[in-house]
């Protein structure tokens, strides 16, 4: 019987064979490291599924979810970046973003045998982690700095009560009234004359806004009976309205009686005078050093204003960062912070009262030209400018609400100055002023035309 030839044994699939060694792993370590950096957990999904799911969840899905939330709420971005809880969430998310990638690349490298390819993969891993970790670490530090800005800018009375309540109990909860004060001092200095005073009234149900300029030379402001300033000036303040702030500042005994938490007692005294004299509840104030106004405009990238005539510019703008021509306009004028400050300070073109109109116009224009994405992209520089130049009794969420209302130019329905012939600032009739404010609030409440325009 012929002998049957022997058949060679099939190749062994044991890990010790050359064929098995060449099949494990199927992708090179460098490619696997790059995959771990982009999508941590994906290269090791079939090798360690539990760990891979964890890395994919926290390293990919969580960041994507946060980006989606940010995109959906982009129109309310001011409130997000001013929320310390949101800043903490961002910091944690960034730390997790880096940590998951570190775990993923270490796992991938350990899964490969030593050799030149593994050394190359290790180099790529270190380089990739540095590229990821550096901006993430910078962002974490920046979030801490923003938290410090929030704590500096937003001061509190320790109460949710309005800053000053109107004399008549009929003041409507439908309105939020915020007093904007612009001082004539530089960054970090607060013993100032409030040359700019604008009462912003927001009809909360509709979001419509009215802006009322209060003349700096308004006379005989009165104070609530029994208050420190009323005892000092029973017949009304004997100087211009813009002198109340420095007067209280220079009299510590009076300032002590207006202390409310961390609020500026000078601003509290001024708000109480305006509220009492005009019979309007003032809920909060925003105080801006006008020299800091330069930095805020520059941080936002400037503003474009359309002028209908030539405006002579003033000289000697303190803190100026650039030079401007002696005349600007007519037509569209692109303004940096220095030019914008000169524009709102100029009195040579017309009068102090017309200057008040330019202040309101610039504020309206700036607000309407600033989008939510602008605030997000420029917020670090904007926050630095705010830190030394703005103080407010608004909470961060209330400030965001005010900024969002002003940012939509369509929301600003009415704008008026308490100036001649409507009001005689030197001899004001405060009953007439009360009627003007009531009519203005009724106009933004009902959407009808303001009768005193």
CATH number at residue 258: 3.40.630.190
Read off the pTM: 0.76
Asked, for residue 323, whether it belongs to a domain, the answer is yes
Q: Are residues 196 and 290 in the same domain?
A: yes
Q: Which of 69-73, 219-223, 373-377, 405-409 has the highest mean pLDDT?
A: 219-223
Q: What pLDDT is recorded for position 300?
A: 85
Backbone phi, psi, residue 277, to 5°: -70, -40
- On whether both 282 and 317 belong to a single domain, the answer is yes
- Above 90 in pLDDT, residue 252? yes
pLDDT surpassing 80 at residue 339: yes
**Domain check: are 317 and 442 in the same one?**
yes
What is the per-residue pLDDT for 349? 60
Confidence of residue 449 (pLDDT cuts 50, 70, 90): confident
125 and 255 share a domain?
no
182 and 134 both lie in a single domain: no
- Average pLDDT rounded to a whole number, residues 376-385: 76
User: What rounded mean pLDDT belongs to the chain?
Assistant: 82
Q: Is residue 42 part of a domain?
A: yes
Residue 347 has pLDDT above 90, yes or no: no
CA distance 163 to 285: 8
* Residue 418 forms part of a structural domain: yes
Q: What percent of the chain has pLDDT over 90?
A: 35
User: Is 210 a member of any domain?
Assistant: yes
Query: Do 252 and 149 have their domain in common?
Result: no
What is the pLDDT confidence band of residue 453, given thresholds at 50, 70 and 90? low
Q: In this model, does residue 10 exceed pLDDT 50?
A: no
- pLDDT bucket at 408, cuts 50 / 70 / 90: low
Pairing state between β 412-417 and 208-213 = parallel
User: What would you report as the CA-atom Rg of the chain, rounded to the nearest whole angstrom?
Assistant: 32
Q: Using an 8 Å Cβ cutoff, are 372 and 235 in contact? A: no
* 52 and 194 both lie in a single domain: no
What is the span of the domain harbouring residue 125? 26-153
Q: Report the C-alpha gap between 431 and 199 in whole angstroms.
A: 17
Q: Is the domain of 386 the same as that of 237?
A: yes
pLDDT beyond 70 at 23:
no
The number of domains in the chain is: 2
Q: Which pLDDT value is given to residue 15?
A: 44
pLDDT digit string (tens) for 213-228?
Answer: 999 999 999 999 999 9
pLDDT number for residue 384: 80
**Is there a domain that residue 283 lies in?**
yes
Output 81 or 257, whichever has higher pLDDT.
Answer: 257
Residue 7 has pLDDT above 70, yes or no: no
Rounded to the nearest 10 degrees, the angle between the axes of helix 290-299 and helix 372-389 is 150
Least confident window among 168-177, 194-203, 252-261: 168-177
164-177 per-position pLDDT tens digit: 998 764 456 789 99
Q: What is the pLDDT of residues 137-150, one digit of tens each?
A: 888 888 887 788 88
Residues 6+ apart with CB under 8 A from 389: 187, 188, 288, 289, 291, 292, 293, 295, 296
- For residues 316 and 200, state if they share a domain: yes
Quickly count helices (H) and strands (E) in the chain: 17, 10
Q: Are residues 234 and 96 in the same domain?
A: no
**Domain ends where: 153, 188, 212?**
153
What is the full DSSP assignment across 250-298? T-HHHHGGG--TTS-HHHHHHHHHHHHHHT--B-EEEEEEHHHHHHHHH
């Amino acid at each position: 019987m012929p002998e049957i030839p022997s058949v060679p044994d099939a190749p062994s699939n044991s890990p010790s064979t050359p064929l098995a060694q060449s099949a494990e792993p199927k992708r090179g370590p460098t490619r696997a490291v790059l995959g771990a950096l982009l999508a941590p957990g994906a290269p090791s999904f079939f090798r360690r599924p539990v760990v891979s799911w964890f890395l994919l969840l926290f390293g990919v899905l969580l960041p994507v979810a946060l980006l989606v939330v940010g995109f959906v709420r982009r129109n309310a971005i001011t409130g997000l970046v001013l929320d310390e809880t949101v800043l903490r969430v961002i910091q944690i998310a960034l730390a997790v973003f880096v940590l998951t990638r570190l775990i993923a690349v270490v796992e991938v490298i350990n899964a490969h045998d030593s050799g030149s390819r593994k050394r190359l993969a290790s180099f790529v891993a270190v380089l990739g982690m540095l590229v990821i970790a550096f901006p993430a670490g910078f962002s974490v530090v920046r979030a801490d700095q923003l938290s410090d800005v929030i704590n500096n800018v937003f001061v509190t009375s320790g109460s949710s009560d309005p800053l000053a309540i109107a004399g008549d109990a009929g003041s409507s909860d439908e309105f939020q009234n915020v007093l904007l004060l612009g001082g004539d001092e530089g960054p970090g200095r607060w013993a100032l004359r409030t040359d700019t005073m604008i009462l912003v009234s927001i009809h909360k149900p509709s979001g419509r806004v009215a802006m009322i300029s209060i003349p700096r030379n308004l006379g005989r402001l009165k104070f609530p009976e029994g208050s420190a300033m009323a005892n000092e000036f029973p017949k009304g303040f004997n100087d211009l309205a813009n002198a109340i702030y420095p007067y209280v500042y220079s009299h510590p005994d009076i300032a002590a009686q207006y202390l409310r938490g961390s609020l500026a007692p000078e601003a509290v005294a001024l708000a109480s005078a305006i509220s009492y004299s005009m019979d309007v509840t003032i809920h909060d104030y925003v105080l801006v050093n006008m020299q800091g106004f330069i930095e805020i405009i520059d941080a936002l990238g400037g503003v474009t204003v359309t002028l209908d005539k030539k405006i002579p510019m003033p000289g000697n703008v303190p803190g100026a960062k650039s030079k401007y021509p002696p005349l600007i306009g007519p037509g569209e004028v692109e303004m940096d912070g220095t030019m914008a400050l000169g524009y709102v300070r100029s009195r040579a073109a017309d009068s102090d009262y017309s200057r008040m109109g330019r202040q309101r116009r610039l504020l309206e224009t700036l607000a309407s030209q600033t989008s939510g994405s602008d605030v997000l992209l420029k917020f670090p520089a904007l926050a630095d400018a705010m830190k030394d130049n703005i103080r407010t009794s608004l909470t961060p969420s209330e400030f965001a609400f005010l900024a969002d209302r002003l940012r939509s130019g369509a929301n600003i329905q009415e704008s008026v100055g308490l100036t001649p012939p409507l009001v005689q600032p030197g001899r004001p009739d405060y009953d007439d002023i009360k009627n003007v404010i009531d009519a203005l609030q009724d106009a933004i409440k009902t959407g009808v035309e303001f009768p005193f325009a």
